[in-house]
Amino acid sequence: MPEVAAPFEAEIVRDLPDDLLGLIGQVVVGYTRVEHGLLSLTSLLLQLNKAESRIVLLRQMPAHERLDMVLDLFAIKGIELKTDAERLRDDLAKATSGRNNVAHGIWLRHPASGQLYLRLTRSDWPKDMTLGNKIKRTVFPQSIEYGVDDCRKTLALIDRALVGVDALGAEIDSALSEYPGRFRPPAPLVSRLGVRKKVLGGDA
């Protein structure tokens, strides 16, 4: 079982080193690109126009769960994938966790060593650190050492996920060409403002 450091009182850090801040920005922007790519895949498979896509699909959902939706849509259209979907899903799950950690975590500094820590309050502690017991981080937060190298690992996962998402996009392009009958044409955007009109009397 991994060694758990003794509890210590730490100050909340508001000013992070510039190199770490730059990497955090790349993680957040990169993950947004992944989410947009997955949204576009779903839109293409359903042949939604952009407005329909934003209305129907812009819901909070982890990237790996959105991938599951994409894979289901491929499956019902009878399209076999060459992309390693299992690896992509694993990358997306880890990238989502890494992105959430830096985007929502509280930064702390060890009073003696000056080491930066990231306080996590989402999901549960790893069971190999809790003798198999379920300990919620919302109840008992976990603080982990975190630095530039950790952020680079998350960024590498996001970059690899982007390659996988792009590969799925290429497979959709191929399927659209090979099996056009399995896709309905996108509906035209009639009302660009989306104004809801009320019928005031008369025949509707």
Q: What is the pLDDT of residues 136-159, one digit of tens each?
A: 877 777 788 899 999 999 999 999
Cα four-point dihedral sign 41, 45, 46, 51:
positive
Q: Is the per-residue pLDDT at 2 higher than 50?
A: no
What b-and-e string marks burial along 18-35, b requiring 16 or more CB atoms within 10 Å of the CB? Answer: eebeebbebbeebbeebb
Spatial separation of the C-alpha atoms in residues 142 and 136, rounded to whole Å: 9
Instruction: Report pLDDT for 201.
Output: 56
Q: What pLDDT is recorded for position 1? A: 43
Q: What's the rounded mean pLDDT across residues 78-103?
A: 94
Tokens of 195: 């104004």
Q: How far apart are the first and last CA of the chain?
A: 70
Average pLDDT, integer, range 176-194: 80
For residue 119, pLDDT over 80 is answered with yes
CB atoms within 10 A of CB 69: 16
Q: What is the mean pLDDT of residues 16-31?
A: 95
The neighbour count for residue 172, using CB atoms within 10 Å, is: 19
The answer to whether 155 touches 30, Cβ cutoff 8 Å, is yes
What pLDDT is recorded for position 110? 85
**Residue 140 has what pLDDT?**
77
Q: Taking the mean position of all CA atoms in its chain, how far away is CA 168?
A: 16
What does the pLDDT average to over 94-104?
92
Tokens found for residue 123: 């999901």
Q: What is the pLDDT of residue 161?
A: 96
Kindly report the number of other CB atoms within 10 A of residue 44's CB atom. Answer: 20
Taking all residues of the chain, what is their mean pLDDT, rounded to a whole number? 85
